[in-house]
Amino acid sequence: MVERLRILLPLALLSAFLFAVPGVAQGSPSRDLPPDPNYRPKINSAHLSNPQRHNALLEADLVIDAVDDDAVDRYEYRWNGTAIGQTLPASVESPTVSYASIRPDSSYELEVRAIDVHGNASDWFAAWSGVTPGAPRVIVAGDSIASGYTRQWFTGDSVCTDSALSYGNELTAVVAADLPVAWAPDYINIAWAGAGAGEMLSGGPDSCGTTHEAQVDQIEDLADDESWSIVVITAGINSTNWTDVIVDLTKDTAFSFTEAGDRAACDLALHDKWNIGARSASITQNTRSTVDALSTSTNAQLFWTGYYDITGTELAPFWTPIGNECHAEMAEAIEGLHSALQAGLSSDVTWVEIDDDVATQSWAGWPHPNEQGHITIGRAVAEAVAE
């Protein structure tokens, strides 16, 4: 009996020691095994989204569900047409694809694969097949600044819409310069002279007598949810009595022969005659309604431009009806309009500040932009689009 105890006791102690010492496995391991460097990732699903407002031109989001026993480092994709396409990279954090290497309105298949931190690649996974989107669209809307309004002589007719003169033409050219030729954007101008913030929603007649439908409705029809659209609006000043104020101010300064008289005329016109204070709430509400409608019903990138200071511009050679002595009053007045407009904008809209140095037409077309003035505005908008 004693001998038996002498044998069993050391065995019991040895067993207890083995169970107590860390790292000695008993059945299932106490921690995960290290990642297998030869394990290949796997894609469970992948989906190509339609272009969204946050996407850059010619880009769209990929939604991918992939697994790996360590970590996926990146994705790769290729567009296959009549032949296997070039392999292109996509990030793990926000995977997107670019259509720049292929053509619009054409049949392709999109394949993706995952690459892990060890360089192991999954099989290619078919994420999409079909017809690619059409070229992007640049849609310009709003008032006579946007429409390319011109008028040379006071006794002659106006041209209420000139899309080739409008800043939209320069904007489109700048945007196109950064895209492959096949993806050159289509340019559509629906602006008309006389439109205010309210007319964006209701439509109405322009100053040439043509009646137009609501521009919001037109934009909703023109913006293609399966492609990319840039919508630029210049509207708001015609929701006030601005034209009458400027006509009266021009008359008053013409019969004032001192800077003090000109400043007094500006103060009277812009502080007492201009009804921006009474119209601000309506401008803000109509701007908000326009933005809400376009944010909800389109995927377009939305831009709203400000206006420029017309002090120091010439109505005729050597005649500056509103001189630089009015600059402070004019800047304050324009800022009041801008504040009303910006109060109606959501985070979906980019505000575009326009440089005051905008060249204007002479004679009956004053103070609308001339060709160089439209180029200045178009480039300011293009800079905002590129950001």
Mean pLDDT across the chain, nearest whole number? 91
**Cα 1 from chain centroid (whole Å):** 92
pLDDT at position 257: 84
For residue 35, give the 3-state DSSP assignment. Answer: coil
pTM of the model: 0.89
Phi and psi at residue 72, to the nearest 5°: -80, 130
Q: Cβ of 378: how many Cβ atoms within 10 Å?
A: 23
pLDDT at position 245: 96
Q: For the stretch 212-244, what's the b/e string if a residue is b when 16 or more beta carbons lie within 10 angstroms of its beta carbon?
A: bebbbebbeebbbeebbbbbbbbbbbbbbbbee
- Angle between helical axes of 167-177 and 371-386 (0-180°, round to 10): 40
Structure tokens that stand for 99 in this block = 């259509």
Calculate ∠ Cα 308-377-235, nearest 5°: 60
Could you give all domains of the chain from N- to C-terminal order, each with its CATH number?
Answer: 42-131 (2.60.40.10), 137-386 (3.40.50.1110)
Q: 110, 128 in Cβ contact below 8 A?
A: yes
Q: 311, 247 in Cβ contact below 8 A?
A: no
The pLDDT tens digits for 60-103 are: 999 999 999 899 999 999 999 999 999 999 999 999 999 999 99
DSSP 159: B
Q: 351, 304 in Cβ contact below 8 A?
A: yes
Give the sheet arrangement for strand 72-80, strand by strand.
Answer: 88-90, 72-80, 107-116, 125-131
Calculate ∠ Cα 185-303-290, nearest 5°: 110
> Which CA distances in Å does 340 have to 1, 51, 99, 110, 210?
103, 31, 39, 46, 28
In the predicted model, is pLDDT for residue 169 greater than 80? yes
Torsion of Cα atoms, 191 then 194 then 195 then 198, to 10°: 180
Q: What is the mean pLDDT of residues 19-35?
A: 41
Q: What is the mean pLDDT of residues 150-156?
A: 90
Q: What is the mean pLDDT of residues 37-58?
A: 95
In the predicted model, is pLDDT for residue 190 greater than 70? yes
For residue 17, give the 3-state DSSP assignment. Answer: helix
Structure tokens that stand for 272 in this block = 């007492």
Q: What is the DSSP string of 298-319?
A: ---EEEEE-----TT--SBTTB
In the predicted model, is pLDDT for residue 9 greater than 90? no
Q: 57, 228 in Cβ contact below 8 A?
A: yes
Which comes out higher in pLDDT, residue 341 or 153?
A: 341
3-state DSSP percent of the chain in helix, strand and coil, to 5: 35, 20, 40
Smallest Cα–Cα separation from 110: which of 73, 157, 61?
61
Work out the pLDDT band at 12, boundaries 50, 70, 90. Answer: very low
In the predicted model, is pLDDT for residue 32 greater than 90? no
In the predicted model, is pLDDT for residue 311 greater than 70? yes
Work out the pLDDT band at 155, boundaries 50, 70, 90. Answer: confident
In the predicted model, is pLDDT for residue 328 greater than 90? yes
Phi and psi at residue 13, to the nearest 5°: -65, -40
* C-alpha span between 193 and 147 (Å, rounded): 7
pLDDT at position 34: 65
With a CB cutoff of 8 Å and minimum separation 6, the contacts of 251 are none
The pLDDT tens digits for 242-278 are: 999 999 999 999 988 898 999 999 999 999 999 999 9
In the predicted model, is pLDDT for residue 300 greater than 90? yes
Pairing of strands 186-189, 107-116: unpaired
Partners of residue 112 on adjacent β-strands: 77, 125
* C-alpha span between 384 and 381 (Å, rounded): 5
Q: 227, 255 in Cβ contact below 8 A?
A: no
Peptide bond before 367: cis, by omega within 30 degrees of 0? yes
Q: What is the mean pLDDT of residues 171-176?
A: 98
Ordered alpha helix ranges (H), the chain: 2-20, 144-147, 167-177, 199-202, 215-222, 242-254, 259-267, 276-297, 327-342, 371-386
Which comes out higher in pLDDT, residue 15 or 42?
A: 42
pLDDT at position 33: 55
In the predicted model, is pLDDT for residue 304 greater than 70? yes
In the predicted model, is pLDDT for residue 177 greater than 70? yes
pLDDT at position 6: 43
Q: What is the mean pLDDT of residues 309-318?
A: 95
pLDDT at position 356: 82
DSSP 125: E
